[in-house]
Amino acid sequence: MRISRLLFITTLFMALGGFSPASQAADGAIKVKSIAQVEVEVVGKDGKKTLKRAPVEKVVPGTEVIYTTTFENIIDKTVGNIAIDNPVPNDTEYKAGSAFGKDCEILFSADGGKKFGHAEELKVKGADGKERTALPREYTNIRWNYKGQLAAGKSGEVGFRAVVK
């Protein structure tokens, strides 16, 4: 059973036209924080190259952005029925297979978040008017349904990657 009120306790950031996740759970129980990052190559003192995440400052077409949402139970009892809904930001395309979230069922939408389903279930009308499976670049929204109960003070993390058009 899903609780009908959307909880918008969120930290918004200004990247690619905004990114505003929503959490669905007991009113006032879940704190949500979102960030947008890019991976940058860093050369260590030993000369080895590694990838490190850095805040998004400026992006150009082709840049891959990592969107991460942290959710935390801020009340003194266990919370269930947690769903995190994130739009794929405007002027980006979801990177196939990049959605992550421990202990979460991950669903997608290709109609602005009206209907969600597993990737293989998501249908759109093609140029020929016939129904076909949606391509990852056509996803408009992602939903993570947290499986189980989140204990007081505990948190989780979900996210995905998208490429700037």
**pLDDT tens digits, 42-88:** 999 999 999 999 999 889 999 999 999 999 999 999 999 999 999 99
pLDDT one-digit tens code per residue, 109-137: 999 999 999 999 999 999 999 999 999 99
**Residues 40 and 59 sit within 8 Å (Cβ to Cβ):** no
pLDDT over 50 at 159, yes or no: yes
The distance of Cα 154 from the centroid of its chain, to the nearest Å, equals 19
What is the β-pairing status of strands 30-43 and 10-11?
parallel
Please report the pLDDT score of residue 27 as a whole number. Answer: 63
pLDDT at 112: 96
Kindly report the average pLDDT of the chain as a whole number. Answer: 86
Comparing 90 with 14, which gets the higher pLDDT? 90
Helices (H) and strands (E) in the chain, counts: 0, 14
CB-based contacts of 14: which residues, under 8 Å, 6+ apart? none
Domain edges within the chain: 6-164
Instruction: Assess if CATH 2.60.40 describes domain 6-164.
Output: yes
The Cβ of residue 79 has, within 10 Å, a number of other Cβ atoms equal to: 20
